[in-house]
Homo-oligomer: A and B are copies of this chain.
Amino acid sequence: MSDLLRLFEPERVAVVGATPREGSVGRGVMENLSGFDGEVVGVNPNYDEVLGRRCYDTVDDVPDRIDLAVVVVPPDAVVEVVDHLGELGVENVVVVTAGFSEAGGEGAERERALVETAREYSLSLVGPNCLGVASTPSNLNATFGPSSPLEGSISFMSQSGAFVTAAVDWANDAGVGFRHVVSLGNKAVLDETDFVEAWGEDEGTNVIVGYLEGIDDGGEFIEKARRVTRETPVVVVKSGRTEAGARAVSSHTGTLAGSERAYEAAFRKAGVVRAENVEELFDYARALDSLPLPDEDGVAVVTNAGGPGVMATDALGESSLSLAEFEDATYDALDDALPDGASFYNPVDVLGDAPVNRFEDAVEAVNDDPNVGACIVIACPTATFEFDALAEALAEVQDPDVPLLAVLMGGEATRSARDILSENDIPTYFDPSRAVRSLDALAGYRRTKERDHGEVRDFNVDREKARGILEDAGDDGRLGVEAMPLLEAYGIPTPRGEVVDDPEDAERVARETEGDVVMKIVSPDILHKSDIGGVKVGVSDDGVRDAFEDLVSRARSYQPDAELLGVQVQETVDTDAGVETIVGANRDPQFGPLVMFGLGGVFVEVFEDTSFGVAPVTDTEAREMVDGIDASPILRGARGREPVDVEAVVETVERISALVTDFPEILELDINPLVASPDGVSAIDLRLTVDTEEL
């Protein structure tokens, strides 16, 4: 068992700062602890007793071992208290008190001291600036919130304390229970990753749910969450767009790679189910908590009304699921069970006059069909329909392997039926589309579980050569085509070519190259070479000398102070025969190196049709990135063209991932274009920025 789980299983809780004062946090926590199965003591020199519990002057005076200390003393007393607790051997501490880093200045200083103290004693410390923690198996409510959660198997963490109170109040009303609840507060010591990991090992936790505004250590989160989501679903609302990496503005495609894309890529990599809003968060959590996973994407809909059946069908059409096609035996069974006029085809319409047993028969028939992965029952009120009886019947006929969801389209008439279904782990909805979306989340999680993450391939690369090239970057850290050998060092094909200093060398390179050459001015100060006539294509051997002089003189007249590194003389690549792609990378403040893929030109600039992966990407992930853009059919040979060598594109993504993983000092990198043709890929142009201080 994870040590952290002990936080939720104390036998004795001490509230440091307990007080009977009305409206105080200290009183709120003591009140909420009144139902705790274990022992509760207060610590406050001003009282001998608080709300009927013994109260001690200091933590040292508490005679028995404290398993969990809840600290609600004023901010400037917190560090000393925590230090005492550490000395005493207390392992689990929740600091509710606010006035730390969220308050800035002095508070930030205080938080640093708190972290230091916690580290010294290896404390499991929640907060500061939080609502507290709760754990329903022992009726532990060590929060100052207004209500206590019901017992359940969803463990819930939130970076917003207010959202804990909101969610618990709502969940109590909706009959949704929790196992452990944590208000993360400032996450000075324990953060989302710690709880994902711990709850992943907790037998009693079926689903991990989180409201997060940011993730502290992106890499560690991915690593841990990825392991947990193999067995336990993690559903997260990630709210608030963080400052898109401030440094990631200069390079072109970099500007598209905001931090939001990083979170998206990270959650995908980690197998985390992402919810867009609160409604989805709990819809998905409830479905994942109570239902088996569907083993087929085909869904049977059984309804007593055509219209709502169509609504469900529409929603299925917008999901990753579909209406199941039944086997003959199922049609036969439905034919036996249903009267004339009923529809045996999916959606199965049992008709408006259907009594409960007709629903029962239909559900049993479709559940037996191997093409049916899940069943949605829709019932509309009629003058005679008995929702309660339907609820009881569905509880009877539900198949432990086929998720069953109930859409009860009504209000008051459906209330007690909802309770019956909920007690029998059948989630209920009013809107058919919400049932479908929840089921879609279930199917998505099944795919996550089944997914082969692939492996990070180990390429034969020349790190020393690469380091030497990166070290050549000037003070501003910018490198251009002169760094093309970097790509060669990482096994990415580039056209034959060189950056040369004088016309003679240019002629030599041109002679050694078959056909005409492309010549480009090379300068870190000239970003848009074409705009100043800094690029010449189709230069023959005879024209190389003149072209060299011309390029240099144009550059000098355009920007006299520009540093000229020379002229690139490059083999002509037939771009018409291929597809221009872009492979890039930038560095995200939370998740480190992020690899980007897209098609060149308007595809990235106008459609923003790009995909992202957190490095190091596996072979599977690189393939998913290449397949994941909307324009990917173009690579696969849309419009009658020959498909390009997609494997080579995928491998380039992996090799760039390897490069930026090996050299985190690469802040941004763009190969634009990487021309992909049926015969392979060729990196035509390169731009990158290096953090020279880190090198």
Contacts and interface: CB of A to CB of B under 8 A. Distances in A.
Interface in A270-314: 276-279, 304-308, 310-311, 313-314
B162 A411 contact: no
A145 B239 CA distance: 43
B307 A160 contact: yes
Interface in A409-427: 409-415
A170 B430 contact: yes
A173 B306 contact: no
Given A160-B305, A239-B307, A310-B240, A412 B169 contact: yes
A166 B381 contact: yes
A413 B169 contact: yes
Interface string A59-74: 0000000000000000
A602 interface: yes
A241 interface: yes
A383 B144 contact: yes
A601 interface: yes
Nearest to A163: B307
A106 to B, nearest CB: 14
A104 to B, nearest CB: 11
Interface string A353-391: 000000000000000000000000000111111000000
A198 interface: no
Given A602-B634, A639-B602, A170 B410 contact: yes
A428 interface: no
A487 to B, nearest CB: 25
A174 B411 contact: yes
Contact of A605 (B23, B165, B638): B638
A281 to B, nearest CB: 9
A559 interface: no
Find the residue from A167, A170, A383, A640 having the highest chain B CB count within 10 A: A383
B240 A314 contact: yes
Contact of A380 (B165, B310, B413): B165
Interface string A231-245: 000000101110000
B606 A306 contact: no
Contacts of A10: none
A116 to B, nearest CB: 26
Given A173-B412, A314-B240, A276 B433 contact: yes
A74 to B, nearest CB: 15
A342 to B, nearest CB: 13
B166 A279 contact: no
A127 interface: no
Nearest to A173: B411
The interface centre, meaning the residue of A169, A315, A385 with most chain B CB atoms within 10 A of its CB, is: A169
Nearest to A607: B630
B638 A240 contact: no
Nearest to A313: B240
Contact of A307 (B213, B305, B381): B213
B307 A158 contact: yes
Given A432-B278, A633-B606, A634-B602, A28 B412 contact: no
A410 B240 CA distance: 21
B169 A410 contact: yes
A384 B145 CA distance: 9
A380 B317 CA distance: 36
Number of copies of this chain in the oligomer?
2
Interface string A600-644: 011001110000000000000000000000110110001110000
Contacts of A278: 311, 430-433
A161 interface: yes
A413 B162 contact: no
A117 interface: no
A244 to B, nearest CB: 13
A382 B310 contact: no
B211 A307 contact: yes
A277 B307 CA distance: 12
A166 to B, nearest CB: 3
Which of A171, A313, A315, A409 has its CB near the most chain B CB atoms (within 10 A)?
A: A409
A169 B414 contact: yes
Nearest to A602: B634
A279 B165 contact: no
A40 to B, nearest CB: 18
Nearest to A414: B169
A162 B304 contact: yes
A682 interface: no
Interface in A1-53: 23, 28
A436 to B, nearest CB: 9
A349 to B, nearest CB: 10
Contacts of A430: 170, 278-279
Interface string A653-670: 000000000000000000
A319 interface: no
A575 interface: no
A146 interface: yes
Given A307-B158, A307-B160, A410-B166, A639 B601 contact: yes
B413 A147 contact: yes
A503 interface: no
B380 A166 contact: yes
Interface string A425-462: 00000111110000000000000000000000000000
Contact of A305 (B146, B163, B170, B317): B163
Given A147-B413, A171-B411, 12 more contacts: A23-B384, A163-B305, A165-B409, A166-B381, A166-B409, A170-B410, A213-B307, A239-B307, A240-B310, A278-B311, A606-B630, A606-B634
Interface of A: 23, 28, 103, 144-147, 158-163, 165-167, 169-174, 211, 213, 237, 239-241, 276-279, 304-308, 310-311, 313-315, 317, 341, 352, 380-385, 409-415, 430-434, 531, 601-602, 605-607, 630-631, 633-634, 638-640
Interface pairs A-B: 3 shortest CB-CB: A160-B307, A173-B411, A162-B305
